[in-house]
Amino acid sequence: MKAEWFEEATALSAVGREARAVAWDATPLGPPSSWPESLRHAVRLCFSTRFPVMMVWGPDLTLIYNDGYREMLGTDKHPGAQGAPARVVWAEIWDDIGPLFDTVLTTGQPTLSRDMFLLMNRSGYAEETYFTFSYSPLSDDDGRIVGLLDIATETTHEVVDHRRLATLGEVHGALPTTFTDLRSFALPVLEALSRSADITRAAVYDASGRRVVLDAGAAPEPDERDLVARALRSGLLEVVPGMVVKPVRSGEGDGILAVLVLRGAAVRPWDAAYVRFMVVLSKTIGAALRDVVRRRAHEDALRLRAARSEEARSRATEVSLALQRAVLTEPPQLDELQVVVHYQPAAVERDIGGDWYDAFATRDGATTLVIGDVIGHDLGAAVMMGQLRALVRAIGYDSQDTPARVLERVDAAIDGLALGNKATATALVARIEQTPDQRRERIRTVRWSSAGHPPPILVRADGRSEILRVRNDLLLGMDPGAPRRDHTVEIGPGDTLVLYTDGLVETRDSGLRTRLDQLAAVLEGTHRADLDSVVETALSGMLSATADDDVAIVMVRANP
């Protein structure tokens, strides 16, 4: 016999209509026509919302769920989970969630779990997942707790995306700037990769493809050497399910420097996002290897030239210093904003690196701030830095576009002008805007876009510091067609925006998130200090006497 109330409660839900076909008589709940009013009320609530909701009821904790929750069941558990015992449906994770069920059912107290890791088997394989959810008690008509309500959202993509960005940051920080041999280059890179949950094996083969120079993680699959040989023959990136094989070209004819192998984790689906992450990672490492080899050749040539002519060496030094003075200029003071810049080279002896900053007003009167870092720390990086700085300044001034559009046009210019892999760089463009209404209210909008650059930090006028974390876009020079996004935040009088390059926060001893939190803590409470003092506070709080990398800083404060 059909229960009219159940037909009505499930009418607007696809999963609900499927639930009508469940043999409820064979479950401890019995036919829907016999369900108590308290259970009926919970079922109506479950099927009336689009948010993922699951509930259990009765001695077997019989499962009922809606359309939103159906996605969490993967490809294998639905529709069999409807009307089944929760312990059976989620057998593989019951040791993790069973105690939470017991807590709610025995104490009546709700639970809350944030980004909880669960190794599920919902689509035919063990899958790494993360969820934020709350279990709440459900009572019968007599007030006894006989079930619970689960309101949940899956946060797997957010957790994994953040982790992969952190891996890119750690690898970028580990990339050597000097080159002794292939093994010395690969060692710090593979150490960084071995800490990533998304990489189960990393290996570097020599140019012949017959010898593994260095590897980390799991043993090679039987087809690995065949893929390496195929990549060497074609000279092209090989992407197969679970693995990326990247031949690193020398940039001189058809020469190959090495072959990089990266294998993913079986607990994550090999989807477009995973492929994109692995390809970007392999290209970043390949570009860095190519750069350090070129740098080594360049340095050897410079040493030979210096041995032959001290005068020639002096002239090269003068050129570098002149470039530095020409590019890293003092900023203008614009639009009732205080702007302070700082550049500090690394402790190792060299004239200039790839870090840069800029500040200028566009034709419509908006203030534009730029901070960037070209991969490399040699004269070539400095020259490329100068070209990229000029491109961003010219396009930003002339187009008056948003920062995302400016970076897209810079990417197109890098590709169209064939600047090559040396143009790979992180960059952040921020545009400070103010409408007439905002001028009256004394507030401004900061609109920014980040090409793989560390996040800005905002020190509010009350001393609080905020890390403006967003999902980064690709580095400049990697994909001319990559879309870019703008982000906004409002600032008021006395607020200070802090932009910086990775030399201020990246170390081999601490993770990037930890160092960003440390910088935010160092800047906390600096709202009353002048900006020059804030710069000194940031440097002394974050760097030792022997900094490993260049540091560029731009700070802007809205006048109180």
DSSP strand pairing (496-500 vs 256-263) = unpaired
State the pLDDT at residue 379: 75
State the average pLDDT over residues 106-133: 96
pLDDT category, 317, cuts 50, 70, 90? very low
| Six-digit token string for 32 | 């829907």
Comparing CA positions, the residue from 54, 64, 62, 57 lying closest to residue 27 is 62
Higher pLDDT, 314 or 543: 543
How much is the mean pLDDT over the chain?
90
Rounded-to-integer distance, Cα 426 and Cα 449, Å:
11
Backbone angles phi, psi at 531, to 5 degrees: -65, -35
Per-residue model confidence (pLDDT) at position 1: 55
159-308 CATH, one of 1.20.1580.10, 3.40.47.10, 3.30.450.40, 1.20.1250.20: 3.30.450.40
pTM exceeds cut of 0.85: no
Dump pLDDT digits (tens) for 188-231. Answer: 999 999 999 999 999 999 999 999 999 999 999 999 999 999 99
% the chain with pLDDT above 70: 94
Residues of the chain with CATH 3.60.40.10: 316-558
The confidence band for 316, taking pLDDT boundaries of 50, 70 and 90, is very low
- Determine the pLDDT at residue 351: 47
Q: What is the pLDDT of residues 235-275, one digit of tens each?
A: 999 999 999 999 998 877 678 999 999 999 999 999 999 99
pLDDT at 45 over 60: yes
Domain 316-558: state its class. Answer: alpha beta
Mean pLDDT check: name the lowest of 98-102, 327-331, 363-367, 554-558: 327-331
**The tokens of 191 are what?**
């150490």
Cα dihedral across residues 454, 460, 463, 469: positive or negative: negative
Residue 103 pLDDT exceeds 80: yes
pLDDT at residue number 48: 95
Residue-wise pLDDT for 348-375, tens only, equals: 555 466 888 999 888 888 899 999 999 8
The pLDDT assigned to 311 comes to 61
Please give the average per-residue pLDDT across 98-126, as a whole number: 96
Cα(329)–Cα(327) distance, integer angstroms: 6
pLDDT of residue 161: 96
252 compared with 320, residue with greater pLDDT: 252
| Per-residue confidence (pLDDT) for residue 309, from 0 to 100 | 59
Q: In what order do the strands lie in the sheet with 53-57?
A: 62-65, 53-57, 145-154, 127-139, 111-120
Helix axes 512-523, 156-174, angle to 10 degrees: 90
Exposure on the CB side of residue 139, measured as CA atoms within 13 A? 8
Residue 314 has pLDDT above 60, yes or no: no
Alpha carbon of residue 234 to chain centroid: 31
Token pair recorded at residue 190? 């593979």
Q: Give me the CATH code for the 4-154 domain, please.
A: 3.30.450.20
Please determine, for residue 501, whether its predicted confidence score (pLDDT) is greater than 50.
yes
If you ran DSSP here, which 8-state letter would residue 99 be given? H
Span 389-395, mean pLDDT? 92
How many angstroms separate the CA atoms of 460 and 468, rounded? Answer: 12
Could you tell me where in the chain the CATH 3.30.450.40 domains are found?
159-308
Question: pLDDT at position 26, please?
Answer: 95
Do residues 446 and 431 make contact, with C-beta atoms less than 8 angstroms apart?
A: yes
Confidence of residue 313 (pLDDT cuts 50, 70, 90): low
Q: How far apart are CA 481 and CA 470, in angstroms?
A: 20
Residue type, 418: A
Angstrom CA distances, 464 to 68, 470, 520, 527, stand at: 38, 19, 9, 8
Lookup result for tokens 């939470």: 100
Question: pLDDT by residue (tens digit) across 280-312?
Answer: 999 999 999 988 888 877 777 787 887 775 664
- Given this model, what pLDDT does residue 382 score? 80
CA gap 325, 557 in Å, rounded: 25
Q: What is the tens place of the pLDDT at every residue in 404-463?
A: 999 999 999 999 998 988 889 999 999 999 999 998 999 999 999 999 999 999 999 999
What would the 3-class secondary structure string for 277-327 be? HHHHHHHHHHHHHHHHHHHHHHHHHHHHHHHHCHHHHHHHHHHHHHHHHHH
